[in-house]
Structure 1
Amino acid sequence: MIKNNKQQLLLIMEKAINAAKPVHNFPKLLKKPKGEIYVLGAGKAAGSMAKAFEEQCPFDLEGLVITRYDHFVKTKKIKVVEASHPIPDLNGYNATKQIIKIAKKTSKDDLVIFLISGGASALLCSPLDGISFDEKQKINNELLKSGASIDEMNIVRQSISAVKGGRLLELIKPSNCITYGISDIPGDDPSFIGSGPTIYTNNDTNKFFEILDNYKIKISKEILSIIKNNLLPQGINENFHLIASPMKALKAAANLAKKIGFSPIILSDKLEGIASEEGKRMANLALKIKKEQHYKNISLENPILLLSGGETTVKVNGFGKGGRNSEFALSMVNTLKGNKNILGLSVDTDGIDGSEDNAGAFFSYETFLTSTKLNLDIKKYLNNNDSFSFFEKTSDLIFTGPTLTNVNDFRAVLILPN
């Protein structure tokens, strides 16, 4: 029974990911500008977005996009450069220089198409003058370990960048710029997708300093002075089009779940918080539904499927391996303690959960049984941030490979009737 349910959950997961792929979502460019068309962009989906755009565009164009290593897509006209994520490297730094060069050469008769998706915050890398590349890397690394939310991370990244928070748009002007985005951001705020290179933000410097203080991130006085003297530009945002989002993926998953015979419930497309805490909270909700035999007015006559998106964070205390999705799943295993009627999965829709090559993990009663047979201490693995190793031993890791899109996390928790 669990095996069949697992296959159903994997099919639902695939449906959600496919709904977020750019090939299904790009509108056609119907009018040619007087000048040239330049396509620029960055993100884990940048290569697939570039390919999808040039296939539907009947006009000549050129450009460059930056994507993550192993996310290369062959294109005819747009150059695709691979770089490091989540810590920036020199490939990303040098490719960003090329994007800046193209942006500066455009004229008022040209059209710039900007393609943005999750991951661009690390891939598009150009610190403010006076901040070294090494210093930017160090700040980024501390942010990733701090437990800061994705919104908080992006506020810091915007403040220290020469291209984020609308600063790239300032270089593109007076050319017309149209931005197409795939959202990995809770709430789909375009100024936070990839830290908004072509989108103005209302963030102020005070928020930046509050975040540094809250997470005890130390920055030199020289860098703080540079940031105070380089406030983010302000303006009215126009010409932004969202082509894929977490909610769109969740709705596609819910539609398939109904056809299978489940009762799907979309809890939220913007679930945030510490992964281990949110996993515990989700497990307790599932246990409550199981005990009461309903969720609100929905009876457990048919299996109830809890769907959610968003992005949790991991506060790194240990030295293990694993990302936020496998940690979320491990926290559920720890809380469920072998409940036979609750199973599920948690994955990153880009196919890479944290620093390892898995998308996430599946969990069920059999996961608990296997861990017991192997004498695995669940709490110890959880406290050491070693969820990857745990699920590797129980054979519950999920591998999709790079999906070439990114609408954040996807979680599906199935509650079976008696």
Structure 2
Amino acid sequence: MEALIATTGDTIVQSNDTALTTLHALFDCAVQSVSAESAMPRILPEPAHGRLVVVAVGKAAADMMRVARMRARKPVDGLIVTRYGHAPEGLDWPGIELIEAGHPYPDENSLRGAERALEIAHSLHAGDHLLLLLSGGGSALLAAPVEGLSLADKQATTKLLLRSGATISEINCVRKHLSRIKGGRLAVAAGAAQVTTWIISDVPGDDPSFVSSGPTVPDLTSLQMARDIIAKYRIDAPKSVTRALADPANETPAADSLGLAGGDIRVIARARDALSAVATRGTELGFTVSSLGDQLQAEARHLGASHAALARRLAGDGKKRLILSGGETTVTVVNPKGRGGRNMEYALGLAIALDGAPGIWALACDTDGIDGTEDAAGAVVGPDTLARARALGLDPAKHLAENNAYLFFKALGDLVMTGPTGTNVNDFRAVLIEGQP
């Protein structure tokens, strides 16, 4: 199975398997449809008086800033804060500062990125305009712990939350109440300046307040909700975190304090845009397309098993079919040393449940090109996945139980390797049923 291939635009890379070739091309279609180039407005805000400053944060930050510079009528000053390896090598744009930081866990550069963003906001005056280009990943990339909280406390709490099975909205609710920049606080720091926020959304439901924990967006969660989430998942958080979540001073700012009544908060790309583009492409290729939506948040392996059952059922009518879905699944980590990601766990759960069913193929990838903490976007599955694994002495169920889906698919050569894509609307999953000739 030739899985280590990539696609560009409308070009389909040759493969030994037509189904795999199609799946790779469809993933490329999904990514291209939500790229900064496709999604960014053609005209940037132009203040009548004062400065336009652009701050780009998230996994798509470098590409969003590139497009902003290209479309601006005047030279742009600003800041990029992105994940290591997600900016072009040797990036040196006049007036643009670049900070690469840790993800999914914050590091010292995350502290530096947050402080620089706050400094820029504080430097603005009435008549100035802050354009925030926001994409997923910013919750870790911008770390400004509240008083009494250390970076180590934030790192420990983030790890516990990410391993607990909590949804991204729940995780970001807690993060907002432990931060001096999240939950609208960056907008407060901008004072009388106008703030515009353009968002590539990576959260199910596309609530802008949860994308990168909404630095410039009013927050409707509360300290009590954050405490309830810690209790719900039995998070053994550091005592400093417990104290911070009990301190009324760490409540997020009221919406009317943000000065956002006339602000522009716009989601410019989302998972459903990618699914829509792929559904159109799939129909053109002769598939009967079923979209299960862009808000799926179940445990990854369980969702994979349920989609396998659906594919088996639909395969009975002999039609060429394509089953699409998006969202952000969860993974409950039982092996801290395991290597995998949401999409790889989904794919392995699906492969086990398909049990070699003929004519059914699948791809599950993160649209940012990085699934979890590994170097793969995700993985592909085919009718021979389990047979080839067993021929290599691999135990699929054991790999899944130990959160080692990455090692499983790496051994088979079935990882999807794209590198950072420059966008991020979270998970993309496609199950292809070849049908009868």
TM-score, length-scaled by structure 1: 0.95
Question: Given that residues 32 and 59 in structure 1 are in contact (C-alpha distance below 8 angstroms), is that contact kept between their aligned partners in structure 2?
Answer: no
- Paired residues for 1:32-181 under 5 Å: 32-73=47-88, 74=91, 75-181=93-199
Q: CA deviation at 1:29?
A: 2.1
CA deviation profile, 1:174-223 (whole Å, cap 9, x unmatched): 10000010000101000001100000111012211111011111234543
Residue aligning to 1:314: 331
RMSD: 1.5
- Provide the secondary structure at the position in 1 that maps to 2:324: strand
- 237-246 or 154-163, which deviates more: 237-246
Once the two structures are overlaid, the 10-residue window that deviates more, 333-342 or 367-376, is 367-376
1:271 matches 2:306: no
Letter in 2 for 1:46: A
The one-letter amino acid of 1:397's match is L
- Report if the CA contact (8 A) 2:153-2:241 is conserved: no
How far 1:95 moved relative to its partner? 2.0
Aligned length: 410
Aligned mates of 1:222, 1:70 — CA distance in 2: 32
1:19 partner letter: S
Rounded Cα–Cα distance in structure 2 between residues aligned with 1:401 and 1:225: 40
Deviation, 1:312, is: 0.5
The one-letter amino acid paired with 1:42 is V
Q: Give the drift of 1:323.
A: 0.5
Matches of 1:66 and 1:283, distance apart in 2: 39
> In structure 2, what is the equivalent of residue 191 of structure 1?
209
Over 3 Å counting, the alpha-carbon distance change for 1:365 and 1:220 in structure 2 is: closer
Note closer, same or farther for the CA distance 1:282–1:243 as it changes in structure 2 (3 Å cut).
same
Deviation at 1:117, TM superposition (A): 0.4
Residue 30 of structure 1 and its aligned partner are, at CA, apart by 5.7
Q: Per the alignment, do residues 222 and 91 of structure 1 end up closer, same or farther by CA in structure 2, a change over 3 Å counting?
A: closer
TM superposition shift of 1:126 = 0.5
Give the counterpart letter for 2:69 in structure 1.
E
The 1-side partners of 2:95 and 2:366 are apart by 30
Of 77-86 and 13-22, the range deviating more from structure 2? 77-86
Counterparts of 1:350 and 1:146 in 2: how far apart (Å)?
Answer: 23
- Contact (CA 8 Å) 1:72, 1:81: kept in 2 or not? no
Unpaired runs of at least 5, structure 2: 1-14
What stretches of structure 1 of length at least 5 have no aligned partner? 294-299
Letter in 1 for 2:33: A
Most deviating of 180-189 and 370-379: 370-379
Aligned AA (1:184): D
- What's the counterpart of residue 400 of structure 1? 418
Choose the corresponding residue for 1:232, options 236, 240, 252.
252
Which residue number in structure 2 is paired with residue 8 of structure 1? 22
**Cα deviation code 1:89-117 (max 9, x no counterpart):** 11121121111111111001100000110
**Displacement of 1:47:** 0.7
**Mapped partners of 1:197, 1:121: distance in 2:** 9
Bigger CA drift: 100-109 or 213-222?
Answer: 213-222
Q: Which residue of structure 1 lines up, in the alignment, with residue 314 of structure 2?
A: 289
Q: Deviations over 1:336-358 (max 9, x none)?
A: 10001211110000000111100
Partner residue, 2:7:
none
* Aligned counterpart, 1:296: none
In structure 1, give the amino acid aligned to 2:276.
K
Q: Is the 8 A contact 1:42 1:67 kept in 2?
A: yes
Conserved 8 A contact 2:156-2:237: no
Q: Deviations over 1:35-68 (max 9, x none)?
A: 0111113100011111111110102331112000
CA distance in 2 between counterparts of 1:220 and 1:147 reads 19
Q: Please state whether the residue corresponding to 1:81 is helix, strand or coil.
A: strand
Q: How does 1:262-411 map to 2 (within 5 A)?
A: 262-291=287-316, 293=317, 300-301=318-319, 303-318=320-335, 319-411=337-429
69-78 or 386-395: bigger deviation: 69-78
